[in-house]
Structure 1
């Protein structure tokens, strides 16, 4: 098999694969050893045909015939036992390596920078981090086992061929040289098709995820036809790639059939001549022909196995593209282990932005020289037009993104000097649509502090205005909330996120539009909880309703990546500038809104 692959490609693939194989090397070696008798015993039947034909069919020795059934059954039982043991051992190794690959890929996924998730949809992530692991590990293990079985079988059968007739062996083996060039052609085509197939398969997986997460939007907006059309486009594309794979590669197997038939035809023609002239016996020829057919049979199907090996190598290459992707988290961990990072223990003085520039892409600068200082215990409110850069500013504090230039400073030190884990431990982040996990309310709150005591949980519930709601549930904190918290109302989800922040007890709090999606009644409860959370902490708040941030220590108007105004509510209103205009617009919108408040939905019993 190695000779049929491009040598450098084969060696590169297995050099990458070897670190995952090393822990199971003994088992893998045993599995490979078991392929030897499985393959070699194929030759026994072919070899046995010579004495069978010569002694029974030609010389008619009755005594010899009595042992034939026992010999055939005996060898078959032995071979069957080896086949089972080989399958079990190699299956164990393949599945263990798949598990290890998935474990390492998942750990890598957790370390990926926020930009990576901005650039890749869920379908791509599922396909590359889950499917590729199985295709790479199981594919390489099962196919190397298959090829080794055929290799040992071929060696043994070639021995039978040589033992019977070296002249016919030369003819038979010469024909096999014609399979090398076609395999080289197929190898080049597979890689291109696999890349396109991966993109289309990822798109289909992403559509399944969108239907699961966005089913309410799809139904309310009558998007069934749109989603079906999107699925049809991706599915048709995937179908075309599958057919292209068949068209461009599956001619290899019938080509092998033709090569094999030519070899058999030449051997029969030459063998007949040799029998007539007494060069070989009939038994020798039958034995040779059986061995040749058994040798050619796996070659006729080797095309499909070759394609599978190439697919596994492509999958392994994609896996190592992921492993080789540098991430901030991994680099930070290395520096922390080397003692080149400082632990952030507390916030003693301030958080400062010093001439910060940032862009999601090099050609599109979002922040254009942001500078301000937030003293310890102060509250900084960010307002302005949508897309101005407010959320970008606060996302730089926990290093969800890295500044392009300038510095974010805590207590006189650049935040990049602190370990990223200790930095994020000191920041509680409440998003506009806080993510909740598909588990209980208790576990969702404990994410902020896994070892929180029952007293700390109860205090967080009180501060987040959740106690009455939790006490009304039959299962209390053990209530299952469903995927993304679908059994809860928007206000309940936000208050659970706030309770999580309370348990974390971080000195810095970031509130990114935490009430913008709520109705008036829900917002009132959440706003009370937020008021409790903000006490004695350094707070950065982005607010949709300006009335909620009038008491902030400092209000900054952010437009087009610049701070256009800064001051207290009273100072900015007296100035009559951008904030005054924005406040007037928001006040007018609020007074014209007559939408009734909807009661909070109660979750179904878990």
Structure 2
């Protein structure tokens, strides 16, 4: 015989599991949450007052034809209804307040998770999915669930009170009514199973819709330049059609429950009237009992006819909670040790020991890299596009963790350091630097929020921005728009370099920081970069080999392997070497029909 396990039963109960998950978020204001639910008790229970008072009123006035009726009954009905309305208002207000606070708390926790999540998560996740799962799901999980929970509790309290009125008037009729009630609500237990697959597919479509909105906003110039309006419209309309199809499918799977309940309830009412008439004739109940019973039964059955929509909403809220907590309970891919090692000033350098890395299991993009970069050294990384240069430097701040081997700073594996401590020692300038909505000053201060005005001025000078800033009416407090849209490419790069200056980190990583610029902008930005690299340990990725000739050493990364390592002169001296081939492709001028023709092919 199978042993009864209460804990297992509770864990399988969907409501109990969701309550346990949500409790930490409700706990700070649980008295208000409890009060909002307790109000449901009188609000629901007062539904029974009208049905209860109809018995004496019917027996005395309608049947007895007597004016000595309880005259106060109409007044009590009005009074109780007024009280019920006021309590309902209070409950709705509290429910909205609690729901809002709960949503705020859940969204805040989700955003904490979002900003702490490892970069690899965003490699395979669209912006639409992020918006939906980290924002919309939180609202659905909290406000929707609480609103529906309030409706359910009110309905339960009302049902219990009305069932009491039923038994007060006739236990025989009550048993019949309850049997019919159980049969009517039985299909609701299948709602989750019916919705699970369709809701998941519908959410996927919503992710794609949100992504399309974001792409239309961010890529508006590309859409205009390439006349992609019709393509975008067609794609969007296709997604809308998918959402419509899934919505209809959800309705098809659940809408039958409502007419089924109508049918069952009508049978219950018919049987109750027939059996009640027989009991009146037999003298078992009075006409007042019958009128009161039928009124209570109608008040009990009527909301049940439309309960399918509420049940569907509750299940959608439960599914949203499942999705929210699948994110919150997601283990960190980049784990920190409980006891980390402090990272002091770097004295020796950075060492790569047999480093291999895979984005996907079994597919290595870096193979057995061995490098020793000394403090104050400038190491340039060159090679064909897709060779693994950006991946290699991304391992230093632990955007990803090595699959095999070790990266050490002064002999200590970087996984021994706290992530914040490690990254505080690294400044990065990317090819496409992200600028936040705000002013130039706000974006620069991200490198060091406590920097003084003099520090900002010095950073602007070193980043070759002073002349540009002086030409602006509001200077460093000029608004630059979302993603720095109001600045040119070179200006955005220099703002990012100024930000790196303020950080004043001992390790600088330049990931193709000038590749997207024209020659004039590149010259200015290169001067700013030269200032930034002074007295730092520097990793430079560049596709224009003219910018790396002065590096202390050059590492050639080819198909994920360290193919060559040395100075410019040393590498140029290798016959048929990778670096020499790349260099000749950019700077040698082959002769064709007596004319000199400069090759302009760029190597990423």
After TM superposition, the score normalised by the length of structure 2 is 0.94
Number of residue pairs the alignment of both structures matches = 584
1:279 counterpart = 2:278 = no
| Residues 443-472 of structure 1: per-residue CA shift (max 9 Å, x gap) | 100111111111110000000000111111
User: Secondary structure, in 3 states, of the residue corresponding to 2:464?
Assistant: coil
1:186 counterpart = 2:191 = yes
For the 8 Å contact 1:379–1:539, the answer to whether it is kept is yes
User: Secondary structure, in 3 states, of the residue corresponding to 1:345?
Assistant: coil
1:485 counterpart = 2:484 = yes
For the 8 Å contact 1:464–1:530, the answer to whether it is kept is yes
- Cα deviation for residue 24 of structure 1 reads 2.0
1:419 counterpart = 2:418 = yes
**Structure 1 gap segments, 5+ residues each:** 595-606
Alignment correspondent of 1:196: 201
User: Secondary structure, in 3 states, of the residue corresponding to 1:447?
Assistant: helix
1:366 counterpart = 2:371 = no
In structure 2, distance between residues paired with 1:249 and 1:15: 28
1:450 counterpart = 2:449 = yes
Alignment correspondent of 1:430: 429
- Cα deviation for residue 588 of structure 1 reads 5.3
- Cα deviation for residue 273 of structure 1 reads 1.8
User: Secondary structure, in 3 states, of the residue corresponding to 2:222?
Assistant: helix
**Structure 2 gap segments, 5+ residues each:** 1-9, 590-596
For the 8 Å contact 2:53–2:73, the answer to whether it is kept is no
User: Secondary structure, in 3 states, of the residue corresponding to 1:393?
Assistant: helix
Alignment correspondent of 2:593: none
In structure 2, distance between residues paired with 1:253 and 1:430: 60
Alignment correspondent of 1:566: 565
Structure 1 residues 389 and 7 mapped into 2: Cα distance closer, same or farther (>3 Å)? closer
For the 8 Å contact 2:140–2:320, the answer to whether it is kept is yes
- Cα deviation for residue 593 of structure 1 reads 5.7
- Name which of structure 1's ranges 393-402 and 578-587 shifts more when overlaid on structure 2: 578-587
In structure 2, distance between residues paired with 1:507 and 1:173: 76
- Cα deviation for residue 140 of structure 1 reads 2.0
- Cα deviation for residue 185 of structure 1 reads 2.4
- Name which of structure 1's ranges 472-481 and 175-184 shifts more when overlaid on structure 2: 175-184
- Cα deviation for residue 11 of structure 1 reads 1.8
For the 8 Å contact 1:133–1:315, the answer to whether it is kept is yes
- Cα deviation for residue 522 of structure 1 reads 0.8
| Residues 35-77 of structure 1: per-residue CA shift (max 9 Å, x gap) | 0110010000011111121222222333537534422221111
User: Secondary structure, in 3 states, of the residue corresponding to 1:368?
Assistant: strand
For the 8 Å contact 1:6–1:184, the answer to whether it is kept is no
1:346 counterpart = 2:351 = no
- Cα deviation for residue 223 of structure 1 reads 1.5
| Residues 511-536 of structure 1: per-residue CA shift (max 9 Å, x gap) | 00000000111111101100100111
After TM superposition, the score normalised by the length of structure 1 is 0.94
Alignment correspondent of 1:96: 101
- Cα deviation for residue 404 of structure 1 reads 0.3
- Name which of structure 1's ranges 170-179 and 518-527 shifts more when overlaid on structure 2: 170-179
User: Secondary structure, in 3 states, of the residue corresponding to 1:261?
Assistant: helix
1:581 counterpart = 2:586 = no
In structure 1, distance between residues paired with 2:561 and 2:128: 36
For the 8 Å contact 1:56–1:65, the answer to whether it is kept is no
User: Secondary structure, in 3 states, of the residue corresponding to 1:120?
Assistant: coil
- Cα deviation for residue 230 of structure 1 reads 1.9
Show the 5 A alignment for 1:105-504: 105-328=110-333, 331-332=335-336, 335=337, 338=338, 340-504=339-503
In structure 2, distance between residues paired with 1:6 and 1:432: 50
Q: Over aligned residue pairs, what C-alpha RMSD do you find?
A: 1.7
For the 8 Å contact 2:448–2:502, the answer to whether it is kept is yes
